A and B are shown apart, each in its own frame.
Chain A
Amino acid sequence: MEPLSQTWKEGLAENITFIVTKDCQLACKYCYLVGKNEKERMSWEVAKAAIDFVLEHEYDPIFAQESVIWDFIGGEPFLEIDLIDQICDYIKSELFRRNHHWFNSYRFNFSTNGINYDTKKVQDFIKKNKSHLSVGITIDGTKRKHDLNRVYKGSEKGSYDDVVRNIPLWLSQFPNESTKVTISSADIPYICESVLHLFELGIHAVHINCVFENVWKEGDDSLFEKQLMKLADEIISKNLYNESECSFFTEFLGKPLLCTEQNQNWCGAGKMLSIDAAGNFYPCTRFAQYSLRDKEAWIIGNIHEGIDNNKLRPFLTLDRCTQSNPECVDCEVAEGCAWCQGENYDAAKTHTVFQRATAICKMHKARVRANNYYWNKLYRKLEMEGKREEFEKSHPNVKPEIC
């Protein structure tokens, strides 16, 4: 199994995201996209102009990475499969025609709700691009957990059945793919059963995280801790740790951090580029208007005028300690405590990306406690069985993926 946290060319690839549509079949209850709609679909003209812009600026620092990941998100990106197919064909032919340094060092990446995964158009696209493709299907766990949040637009009907039927096909095509699970307050009681269910479905890598928004209620942290401990017990007692991983448990978690040596920003905003239907550029999708509750979009340029580098400077000078409050700087379990730059911006008191939102604080602390429990228990067991060394060899320590 590929270690959970290794994404393709991690750190060496530029991320370019097309927000091809702001529409989706679902209306997930935790979805941060406050401005979803059916109207804003990317046109071919905008997509082409964006690709031309990016490829023409091959030697600009922002596009100088040795590889590129072209991300397609929505809404639901596969709603625009015709456009996506056209975009990908054009990218391939232009990379070749321009003898661009990304030729043969590119990837197309999709996060889909999986509903129309088995349609002919999507399947034809997958076959055509298989060697340069990653597709992640979002499934939240058991039926009751999934259907709690991931419901169809305009009804309360859950989407579990329509997604789960596509999982075997998906796994046969992408056996090493992971799924992303997002936890909000109401989901806490289902965490353990959901992760185990995903393992049972054959998904061996589960990326799971708590939402960054301020949704947490009194007592959520202790419920969360109990769920994670229950999950830890199950994974360990059923020996699931050998072939499956859940990102809640990692060895890079819960130590104090120094501002001198461990000062990096968590999130990659500013080193990526997102493009929407209007042809506007953003440091990350979370800065587009449809993702923001309180703030105006942070547009850094557009397909006609290019990028205003001044608007990127805050992102490219961000470090952990400058944006953190003194409590976070001095925190004894700061390691692995994540943030989302977009949420930081949205929740900040002023127009800044330098104010860290800490709604997740008590949840991180609970996670650290459960994580410590997991590793102590697992290593004790492995030692007793004389298998610790073997385990460590087959599970190299890989830093968790950021953002």
Chain B
Amino acid sequence: MKPYLQYLVILLDDTSVAYCHANNPLTERNLMPIETLKKAILFGMKQNLMIQYVYPDYELPAEYSEVIESIDHIKIGKDVQVLNEVPKAVTTDNLVLRLTIANFIAHQYDIAALLPQVKRLNICLTDIESFADAQQEDYKKALATLNAVLVNLYKSQQQPQVNILTDRLTLTEMHNCEAGIGNITVAPNGKFYLCPAFYYDEKMGISNRMNHKTKDASRSIGDLDNGLDIPNKQLLQLDHAPLCRICDAYHCNRCIWQNDRLTWDANTPSHQQCVIAHLERNAARDLQQQLKVAGFQTGEDIKEITYLDPFDVKETW
């Protein structure tokens, strides 16, 4: 199905936890004014959006609680725990682990040990841009380590999800980050951004690629008073992404913020992004084969392919 706007991410504070690829460089507290929060919730209600609050690490003033609870929501940083290091044990079902590639590789066994403790683990790599082709083997091996544990857990009737391995098993079409298409972020200043990373960039004065007409670093795409205004919105859609639309790494995040930083075009992924996603896709294929042998049905067969970057097999005109 063509993605449509479904989620509103509300950054409650400038120091709200980073939960995706981009680190949050903002260190000074700047709480969203309660009136802005109310407006954001109202916007979400009227647009029929599921609210995702992103929490800072301090207690919010008491009066926020009632407003926050006035609508169905998910609390990122609370319901969903976000960690930047691999813990020894977890107390939550749903964990986001934000790691550098080197840390992911170095801690593969510790991460594998967490799998029996969670229902869902999201691994989020924070330095995709630095991924070197020479790291491919190590990354593959780390994924295989997790696969081995997953297969055993399946056999003992436990089926934890790991975004970079199990999501691909059931997907039959692209299911990506969909910033600006499936979800939108509102920051404490009451302005919309494609995702929190674009807000961080604006605050840090980094570039202004998505909205060049303003000579400052503005990266907002509208505000709560005037609504959304996404320039070149079609370029965020899959059918306007020449590489991704021919690709079957359906679980790939297809991070448009990374695209924008690394290739300078939001619809064009970097080599690193594609290679990482394909190593994961191929690891998902291995997992599928192993599960099959163990008697589990896991959706359509993932085909064997010979490339790691769709750029290498793109159509030439």
Contacts and interface: CB of A to CB of B under 8 A. Distances in A.
A352 B265 contact: yes
Interface stretch (B48-56, B159-167, B205-213, B286-294): B205-213
Given A313-B268, A318-B242, A319-B242, A351 B314 contact: no
Contacts of B210: 350-351
Contacts of A67: none
Contacts of A352: 232, 235, 265-267
Contacts of A263: 317
Interface stretch (B29-37, B107-115, B139-147, B256-264): B256-264
Contacts of B243: 313, 317
A264 B317 contact: yes
Given A317-B242, A318-B242, A350 B235 contact: yes
B239 to A, nearest CB: 8
A344 to B, nearest CB: 12
Given A310-B271, A319-B242, A349-B232, A354 B311 contact: no
Contacts of A298: 264
Contacts of B211: 350
B209 A354 contact: no
B240 interface: yes
B43 to A, nearest CB: 23
Interface in A312-331: 313-314, 316-319, 322
Contacts of B270: 310, 313
A310 to B, nearest CB: 5
A291 interface: no
Interface in A329-366: 348-355
Contacts of A313: 243, 263, 265, 268-271, 311
Contacts of A349: 212-213, 231-232
Interface residues of A, number: 24
A314 B260 CA distance: 11
Contacts of B267: 314, 322, 352, 354
B263 A355 contact: no
Given A309-B271, A313-B270, A351 B213 contact: no
* Chain B interface extent, by class: 20 to 34
B231 A350 contact: yes
Contacts of A348: 212, 232
Which of the listed residues A264, A294, A314 has the most CB atoms from chain B within 10 Å of its own CB?
Answer: A314
A351 B267 CA distance: 11
A385 B243 CA distance: 53
B232 A355 contact: yes
Given A314-B264, A317-B242, A317-B243, A350 B212 contact: yes
Given A314-B268, A318-B242, A294 B262 contact: no
Interface in B81-111: none
A313 B315 CA distance: 13
Contact of B209 (A317, A319, A350): A350
A313 B258 CA distance: 14
A295 interface: yes
A316 B311 contact: yes
A180 interface: no
A157 B205 CA distance: 45
B265 A351 contact: yes
A310 B212 contact: no
Interface in B228-255: 231-232, 235, 240, 242-243
A311 interface: yes
B265 A322 contact: no
A395 to B, nearest CB: 27
Contacts of A318: 242
Nearest to B245: A322
A134 interface: no
Interface of A: 263-265, 294-295, 298, 309-311, 313-314, 316-319, 322, 348-355
Given A351-B260, A352-B235, 7 more contacts: A310-B263, A313-B269, A314-B267, A317-B243, A322-B242, A322-B267, A350-B212
7 contacts: A264-B317, A310-B263, A318-B242, A349-B213, A349-B232, A351-B266, A355-B232
Listed from nearest, the 5 A-B pairs whose CB atoms lie closest are: A264-B317, A351-B209, A314-B265, A349-B231, A317-B242
